[in-house]
Amino acid sequence: MKILVTGAKGFVGKNLIAELKNRKYTDILEFTRETDQSLLDEYCKDADFVFHLAGVNRPKDQSEFMDGNLGFTSTLLEMLKRYQNTCPILISSSTQAELDNLYGISKKAGEDLLFEYSKETGAKVFVYRFPNVFGKWCRPNYNSAVATFCHNVAHEFPINVNDPSVVMNLVYIDDVVEELISALNGKANVVEDFCEVPVVHEITLGEIVNLIYSFKKSRIERSIPDMSNSFTKKLYSTYLSYLPEDQFSYDLKMNVDQRGSFTEFIKTPDRGQVSVNISKPGITKGNHWHHTKNEKFLVVSGTGVIRFRKIGTEEIIEYFVSGDKIEVVDIPTGYTHNIENLGETDMVTIMWANEYFDPEKPDTYFLEV
C-alpha cells in the first residue's frame, strides 16, 4: 500500500509516519514544502490512501491562509482527479472551522471542497476537526500553549497566562495517530459528517500550568505524578520530551557510611517508596521490625541472606538471595529482619516500602534477629 502524507515534517505528520513505520508500512510518500513539486504529480498517481495534513496556521501574511488551506487542497484534488485516483483521502481540519476568523474560514473552505470532491468522484473522505493537539515534537512558541509551557518550564523560562480559568479541549498525539491509522484500516470514528478522536481532555490553563510545575518539582521531591490519571500521564510524557538534552539526569541524595549507602529513588503518596541499598561485604543491615510498614527486597547484584524471626519466637528463617537469580522477598509485618552481604563485592538491593518514610512516625523498632 502506498500512503501519501502531506505535511510530512509537521507535528502530526512526523508522529504519524514514525508509527506507520513501526507497523511495517514501508511505502510512504512524504510530501513537504521542500519536496520537488513535480513529485506530487507522481504521488497522486500512485497513492492508495492520502493523509492530507499540510496546512497554514501562522502565516506571515493573512492571504496565506486561503493559499495554504484551500489552494493546496484544490491542487491536490485536481491531481488525483487527473489520474482518476479515487483512493480514500483524510484531511486534518480544526475546530476553528466553526468560527468566523480567517483561519477558520480557510479550514472550512478546505472541508467543503473535500466533501464536493467526494460527491463528484465517489472517493471516500475523512474530515477531522482537531482541537488543540499536544505531545512530543510539537513546536513551542508557535501555536501550542502546552508545547510552550512545557518548553519554557523545562528550560526555566517565564510563562504568561492571562486567564488561568480558560478551558482547553485537548487531544494527545498518540490518540490522534491511533485514530488516523484506524481510518486507514477502515475503522474511523465517524460522527455524522465528521470524524473524531475518541479521547478529548477538558482542563483549564491554570491546571495545566500547575501540573507542569509539579513535574519539574518532582525531581527535587523524588516523586512521580499520578499515572492513574490519563491526562497527567500524557502531559508528563510530553513535558519530559522538552527537557534540555544536557539535563536528562538529576542527582539523588546518597546516605553513605562505612556499611555502604541508602538512596531514596521514588516516593509516592499512594504507591509507596522505592530505594536503592548498597551493602559492603560482610555487612548486616536491618535488625528491626514494623507494625504496618511492609517491604519487598530485590537483590540485583551480589549475594546475601535475608533473615527473619517472628516476634515472640526463637526460630530464624533464612532466604539466600543473589543477583544471579532475580527474586522478590516480601518482608511481612511482625517479623524482625536483616540482610547480610555474604559475598566479596558490594550487594545491591532494590527496596520497596508500602509508604514513604515519615520521621515523625517511622514504624521501625530495633530488635536483633
- Neighbouring CB atoms inside 10 A of 7's CB total 22
At residue 305, the 3 state secondary structure works out as strand
319 is catalytic: no
Active site residue: 43, 83, 103, 250, which one?
103
Q: How far apart are CA 31 and CA 8, in angstroms?
A: 6
Cell of 26: 514501508
CA angle 353, 357, 359 (to 5 degrees): 150
In eight-state DSSP terms, residue 325 is B
DSSP states along 129-168: EE-EEESTTPPTTTS-HHHHHHHHHHTT-----S-TT-EE
Give me 107's grid cell.
479550514
Quickly count helices (H) and strands (E) in the chain.
9, 21
Q: Cα(first)–Cα(last) distance of the chain, in Å?
A: 68
Please list the active-site residues. Answer: 103
